[in-house]
Amino acid sequence: MARVRVRREKKIRTLANIMRRDNERQERKERGLPPEILELIMSRLNLLENIRASAVSTRWLASAVSVRRTKPNPFLVHIPKRGDYFEFFDPSASISYLNEIPEIRNSRVLYSNDGWLLLNHPFTLTLFFFSPFERATQPIPRPWATRSMPLSTAFTSNPFSTGLIVFTISQTILNVTIAFWRRGWEQWKIITFPRPLHHFYSAWVQIVYSSGCFYCLSLQGQLGVFDPVTFAWSVRNIVPPVCLGVQVLGNPWRARFMAELAGQIYVVCTGPGPVPVVYRVGWENGKEWLPLGGSLEGVALFVNGLRSLAKVDLGKPTAGRIVFSKVKFHGARCVMYSPGQKRYYPDSKMRLDWSKEEPNRNIWIEVPENI
């Protein structure tokens, strides 16, 4: 036994010496690169690239750690049925914050973006933006004088951005109606398109803005695209993403969620099946939904019936996971799924039953970095 222990320790020392010599050789090659240039390069990397670069050498590790920053996680806003107290849940720390917001009492939340909410008052029909972090309100014109806003509504940026566009879509058996408004316009532009009979009649339930167009995912999994510059509307002829075990009838839309990141569109499908399925739009392969494998490459998907988000540069426990707008253990933990580990958290055996969920009672909102 003593001889075996000696041989093992000798091998460990030999490997340590080899690694040390390789590290010294790598650092000698890098001496021509000034430290401020190396830090500048590291600061331009996202979190996943930063972690990978830190494995090159001890010098790269020190530089990578010195500039490594993680971004804040979105908060899950719970919308009360009555009263003025809104709950903001931070999934990264499992902490809830109560905030009294009488400014949006009885209003219906439609969408969130850039730290702002878009709301519609069902009685006065007023349409307005509200920032719960700045306690600021910004009203905008409404498209119809006697009609409430559809839930299928989205906007592109904060209300003071010059590129702001507000978009909504609704339909009947025969027509699809799209209304949109740009910052500075006095009234909305409303366009009606005939609905082809071979298209399923189903609500457009998830909307994202990407590369200058609005992408709309229907209850049946069809993908519609609207260009606000050319006023063109089309339904892409691609096979809808499959939600394992989800039937067509009876509100299956609660099991489909769509998010966008840097031009990449993701769809998360969950149902009675054991695990979620994640797709992305494969424009390069005949415009089809491509199932992703066992890793999200550090992307975190925060999914919800009103608004889904895709984020990078987040720390544990949300990085590389699907974060659902369901909270377990009396509000203490968010339900997450790790594609890499192929399990749910906090309970590995849980199943998500969306038929028991009350829709539109919560929404993800991005948190400003200075909060």
* pLDDT in the model for residue 49: 66
**Is residue 201 pLDDT above 80, yes or no?**
no
**Is residue 139 pLDDT above 80, yes or no?**
yes
Q: pLDDT tens digits for 252-293?
A: 444 688 999 988 999 988 766 678 888 888 766 556 788 887
Distance CA 364, CA 204 (A): 19
Q: Higher-confidence residue: 294 or 6?
A: 294
* pLDDT in the model for residue 151: 80
Q: pLDDT tens digits for 145-186?
A: 777 788 899 999 999 999 999 999 998 888 999 999 999 999
**Is residue 20 pLDDT above 70, yes or no?**
no
Of the pLDDT bands very low, low, confident and very high (cuts 50, 70, 90), residue 249 is very low
Radius of gyration of the chain measured on its C-alpha atoms: 24
Maximum pairwise Cα distance, the chain: 89
**Amino acid code (one letter) for 297:** E
Q: Is 242 helix (H, G, I), strand (E, B) or coil?
A: coil
Do residues 161 and 135 lie in contact, with contact meaning Cβ atoms separated by under 8 Å? no
Mean pLDDT of 84-108: 89
Mean pLDDT of 312-339: 79
**147-177: buried (b, 16+ CB within 10 Å) or exposed (e) per residue?**
eebbbbbbbbebbeeeebbbbbbbbeeeebb
Percent of the residues in the chain that have a pLDDT greater than 70, as a whole number: 68
Report the run of H or E that residue 14 belongs to, with start and end. helix 2-30
Output the pTM of the full model: 0.79
Give the total residue count for the chain: 371
**Is residue 69 pLDDT above 70, yes or no?**
no
Report the run of H or E that residue 323 belongs to, with start and end. strand 322-328
Of the pLDDT bands very low, low, confident and very high (cuts 50, 70, 90), residue 120 is very high
At 156, list the tokens.
């592109």
Mean pLDDT of 107-136: 93
**Is residue 70 pLDDT above 80, yes or no?**
no
Domain 81-365 has CATH 2.120.10: yes
Q: Higher-confidence residue: 107 or 31?
A: 107
Q: Higher-confidence residue: 192 or 60?
A: 192
Of the pLDDT bands very low, low, confident and very high (cuts 50, 70, 90), residue 192 is very high
Q: What is the DSSP string of 31-68?
A: TTS-HHHHHHHHHTS-HHHHHHHTTS-HHHHHHHHHH-
Mean pLDDT of 69-98: 87
Do residues 62 and 42 lie in contact, with contact meaning Cβ atoms separated by under 8 Å? no
Of the pLDDT bands very low, low, confident and very high (cuts 50, 70, 90), residue 248 is very low
Q: Token match 């107290």: residue?
A: 85
Mean pLDDT of 97-106: 89
> Considering the chain, what is the average pLDDT of its residues?
80
Distances 175 to 10, 112, 222 between C-alpha atoms, Å:
78, 27, 16
**Is residue 198 pLDDT above 90, yes or no?**
no
Beta strands 223-227 and 264-269 are unpaired
Q: Name the residue ranges covered by the structural domains of the chain.
A: 2-67, 81-365
Q: Give me the numbers of helices (H) and strands (E) for the chain, helices first please.
A: 4, 25
Mean pLDDT of 57-61: 66
* pLDDT in the model for residue 174: 87
Distance CA 288, CA 270 (A): 19
Of the pLDDT bands very low, low, confident and very high (cuts 50, 70, 90), residue 23 is low
Side-chain-side CA neighbours of residue 195 (13 Å): 17
**Is residue 25 pLDDT above 70, yes or no?**
no
Q: Is 9 helix (H, G, I), strand (E, B) or coil?
A: helix
**Amino acid code (one letter) for 177:** T
Q: pLDDT tens digits for 218-238?
A: 877 788 999 999 999 998 877
* pLDDT in the model for residue 7: 61
